[in-house]
Structure formats: structure tokens, C-alpha cells
């Protein structure tokens, strides 16, 4: 068990995402994200079809989603497929703490039918000289 598992959260955390989870946007709205007993703190959150926990949006993720969906208006994000993943390079307060990031799902390659691949000419280069140390068996 990791110490982070001791702390329950009603919002999606980096530990919930791992290397990536495919989600579909259900809606986006403002919600109070303050801890119980603390003053109200309203933030934008994104609700997902596949997860009970919403994702608290930050500016970076909001901009990425706008780019993926082609819309700056979160009302147009409904139905969009996204991948949420744990990015260890997210910083907060000048320290690397990791966090949830968003990316577009990878598109599967669509095979081209009825066409033969075209070979591209390759420029000839001079053969490199053999190394004198005799380590020709090394793959690198």
C-alpha cells in the first residue's frame, strides 16, 4: 500500500490515472472543492462517463482540452474522448509533485488498400571505417 491510498478524495488524483485511462467528457461545471469546514473554493471540474470522480481542471489541462476538441467553450467538450495520465513532471510551488495531464487518444493507423507503398530514394553515404577494438559483436 502506498501512503497516498490512505487519503480519500472525491476528485480524480494522479494515482487514479496511472499510465493512462481513456475517458469521455460528460459535462463541465463549477463546484466547491474546499475541504469540509474550509471556506468555499469554487473551481471548474470535468465529469466523466467512465468515472465517479470528477477531474478538477487547471489552466494547462483546460488549454490542452480546448486544443484537442477545437473549442475554447467547455460546453462543446461533451462527448470528447481524452486520455488522463499521471505526469511526474507537473510542478506546484516550484517543486515537481506530479499530477494529472490530458492528451488526445492515439489514432489507430488506417491501412491503405489497393495502393503499393512507394520506395523513397536513399542518399548514399560513405561507409564508416571499422573500429580497431574488435567489438563487432556488440549491438550498439
pLDDT value at position 140? 34
pLDDT digits (tens, 9 = 90+) for 116-137: 555 555 555 555 454 444 444 4
User: How much is the pLDDT for 3?
Assistant: 62
Q: What pLDDT band is residue 14 in, cutting at 50, 70 and 90?
A: very high
List the grid coordinates of 118.
512507394
| pLDDT of 47 over the 80 cut | yes
- CB neighbour list of residue 21: distance below 8 Å, 6 or more residues apart: 50, 51, 83, 84, 85
* Cβ atoms < 10 Å from Cβ of 13: 17
Going by C-beta distance under 8 Å and a sequence separation of 6 or more, which residues neighbour residue 47? Answer: 25, 26, 27, 28, 29, 54
pLDDT at 97: 95
Amino acid at each position: 500500500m502506498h501512503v497516498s491510498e490512505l487519503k480519500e478524495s472525491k476528485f480524480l488524483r494522479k494515482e487514479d490515472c496511472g499510465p493512462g485511462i481513456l475517458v469521455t467528457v460528460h459535462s463541465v461545471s463549477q463546484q466547491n472543492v474546499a475541504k469540509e469546514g474550509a471556506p468555499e473554493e469554487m473551481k471548474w471540474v470535468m465529469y466523466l462517463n467512465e468515472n465517479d470522480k470528477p477531474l478538477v481542471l487547471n489552466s494547462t489541462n483546460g488549454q490542452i482540452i480546448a486544443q484537442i476538441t477545437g473549442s475554447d467553450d467547455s460546453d462543446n467538450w461533451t462527448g470528447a474522448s481524452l486520455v488522463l495520465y499521471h505526469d511526474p513532471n507537473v510542478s506546484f510551488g516550484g517543486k515537481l509533485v506530479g499530477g494529472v495531464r490530458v492528451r488526445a487518444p492515439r489514432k489507430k493507423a488506417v491501412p491503405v488498400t489497393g495502393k503499393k507503398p512507394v520506395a523513397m530514394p536513399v542518399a548514399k553515404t560513405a561507409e564508416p571505417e571499422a573500429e580497431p577494438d574488435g567489438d563487432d559483436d556488440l549491438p550498439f
